[in-house]
Amino acid sequence: MDTSQYLDLFIDETKEHLQTLNEHVLVLEKEPENADTINEIFRAAHTLKGMSGTMGFTRMQRLTHDLENVFSEIRNGNMKANAKLIDVLFRGLDALESYLDVISSEGNEGTEDNEDIIQDLNALLEEQSGGSAEASPASPEEAEESGQTPQSEKEESAADDEKYKFRQIPVNEYEINAIRTAKQEGKNIYGITVFLQESCILKSARAFLVFKSVENKGELIKSVPSTEKIEDEEFDFDFSWILATTESAESIKKLILNVSEIAEVYMDVFEIPEEKPEPEKKQAQTQTQRKTIKKEEKKPAETAEDKPKKAKGKMGSRSVRVDIDKLDVLMNLVSELIIAKNGLVSVSTNGAGQGENAQSFHEQIEYLERVTTNLHESVMKVRMVPIDSVVNRFPRMIRDLNRKLNKKMELYMTGEETELDRTVIDEIGDPLMHLLRNSADHGLESNEERVRLGKPEIGSIFLDAYQDGNNVVIEVRDDGAGIDVEKVKSKAIDRGVITEKQAETMSSKDFIDLLFLPSFSTADKITDVSGRGVGLDVVKTKIEALGGSISAKSVEGEGSTFTIQLPLTLAIIQALMVEVGTEKYAIPLGNINGIEDIAKDEICFVQSKEVIHLRGSVIPILRLREILDIAPPEKEPENFIVVVMKKGDQRVGLIIDNLLGQQETVIKSLGRHITNDKLFSGATILGDGEVALILDTNSLI
């Protein structure tokens, strides 16, 4: 059977299990005796092994199986977690992530066997457990798979027997003949009832994975309910089979239990009942079952090469898990939208502009506006994802940098529950990783230097996220040496980025901003962590592509802070509509600091650039007509409308012709055919059908 339809589900769940393993192995390193952590690690590894085996990824299954053996020995008390063991475990988890990367892009797991990791895992088993892994007491999961029942769980098993009862499977004459034929061929006939956990969300997917796990081991004679109903999720949390196989009941049960979210499997030898189906039903049942059996004929095993490959190129996750309550709100709003539509239809039929109908028309428009606003807010909430899905992998990264750089450091995170749009979440991980690596390598001093300066030997790196209006702010800071402004100045002059004359008029902040220039680095040597000058410029480019901004500040000897500001969503924004010449443009409201009416004679020149004095500050101004190559007016006005934009600590004024008002705009992509897109972040369609371009204020500033 084709498993490609469940590949996305497998990828998403595997990412979650690998993240769980990474997080809990970090805890295990600090708390080797934490029983809850050990149990959670074993459960995640056990589930991951079953999932990869079910999908046919045998290399991934084998490595996970060996990791599970180690986790099992730790849980049984035969092994102790130490630095050497933790290092090998992390190597194993990294290898599993590599498998997942290949699966995401190629649709198969590749050809890497990771024999060195498997050998190291087995060597640790022999070294620490004294070869007792084979004879160690069975864990509850292993006992369940082998048909054993641990003494401590006998009472619980007795209770389960009441809850999970074998479902009787009626058979007709055609099925009885199939059973007799299978017996004559020496096959075992089993009645199987599989019970899914009641927390299972995708029941049909789980049922399919169960079938996939045993399809090569025998012949399915009957399914209750039918396979069609199982595919359509028209069943509760259990389904039953009659299976003809040469395998033992224990091996079949073990294969089924390897699939995650299985609560129980009941198996017994199936005996043909003495009763036969009622004569009047026989013909209809026979015809139905002939169709079913024909559909369920055994297919040859599918190899990795046979599986349809996805298009190459790793894609970000395209799914979002949504709380059912949020979907209920959406359904209610859609219902109200339909009511509003019907109201408008009714009013228009009776004459929208006549007498009382005119009032009714305006009321319906207001009602429609309220509903669409609420609908917009609800859809945005559905798109929002907690930022912890990105930042939860960073403690592991800091742990690895700790060992690689030989620096003692700790990562402290706050605001992991802060939510961002899914599209922003998918892109923010790499910029944050660059900033954290910079803090670890450039920011923090060596252990010896920190002690000499009277600082704690263990350096601190902080990652804080919080919502600020319609934006989310993420700060990455450290308690290290701070940015050496004089060193930045010297490097910039040596490389010709600035002249000595320019340097004399530059502030400390101006020098710090030079760090965001392409290929600029103050590192004395290049390492595999940093020093190539491809960090902060990449961060800035990525952040600004998301409609955000980044700034930096530093106090020498105390540390540095990098502040990222991002929009909550990239789909719908509040914008100020303006007119330049005869064209209309949209300016995102979140970037606007104010609107001023400036007289012509208030414009001054500083270093040949136009500026204005505004409440004690000097603000450069830009004429949008010149930037957009729009012909100047025949007569220059005596007063100008200036929209003051803000980006971090920087401000700039945009001279426009007219203000049209505030409007909620839906952002549309410009597409790949627009090559000069630096000035614009997208376009929007106005109420009259006209298209207005959305100005990219980051590039203007």
Question: Are 196 and 263 spatial neighbours (Cβ–Cβ below 8 Å)?
Answer: yes
39 assigned to active site = no
- How many other CB atoms are there within 10 angstroms of residue 615's CB atom? 7
Residue ranges in 55-114 assigned as alpha helix (H): 58-75, 83-106
228 has catalytic annotation: no
> Tokens at residue 448, please?
């010896």
Query: Tokens in use for 139?
Result: 């864990």
CA distance 684 to 585: 9
Return d(Cα 436, Cα 539) in angstroms, integer. 11
Q: Which of 46, 65, 434, 442 is catalytic?
A: 46
Residue 168 DSSP symbol: P
**340-363 as b/e, with b when 16 or more CB fall inside 10 Å?**
beebbeebeeeeeeeeebeebbee
> How long, in residues, is the chain?
701
Gap between the Cα atoms of 22 and 60, Å rounded: 16
Answer yes or no: 46 catalytic.
yes
Helix (H) or strand (E) holding 621: strand 617-623
Question: Which single residue is written with the structure tokens 């996750």?
Answer: 317
DSSP 8-state code for residue 601: G
**Cβ-count burial of 122 within 10 angstroms (0-12 exposed, 13-18 middle, 19+ buried)?**
middle
Query: Which residue among the candidates 22, 24, 68, 69 is catalytic per the annotation?
Result: 68
Say if residues 485 and 511 touch (Cβ distance below 8 Å). yes
Catalytic residue selected from 438, 544, 591, 698? 438
Q: Where are the alpha helices (DSSP H) in 170-316?
A: 173-184, 203-214, 227-231, 249-257, 279-295
Give the CA dihedral 9, 14, 16, 22, nearest 10 degrees.
-170
Other CB atoms within a 10 A radius of the CB of residue 186 amount to: 7
Residues with Cβ < 8 Å from 434, sequence gap 6 or more? 535, 536, 538, 539
Which residue is it, tokens 């190899």?
A: 303
**Residue 281 backbone phi and psi in degrees, to 5:** -95, -10
d(CA 226, CA 241): 10
Q: Where are the beta strands (DSSP E) in 538-608?
A: 549-555, 559-567, 572-580, 583-588, 592-599, 604-606
Classify residue 355 as left (phi > 0), alpha (psi -120 to 50) or beta: left
- Cite the active site residues: 46, 68, 438
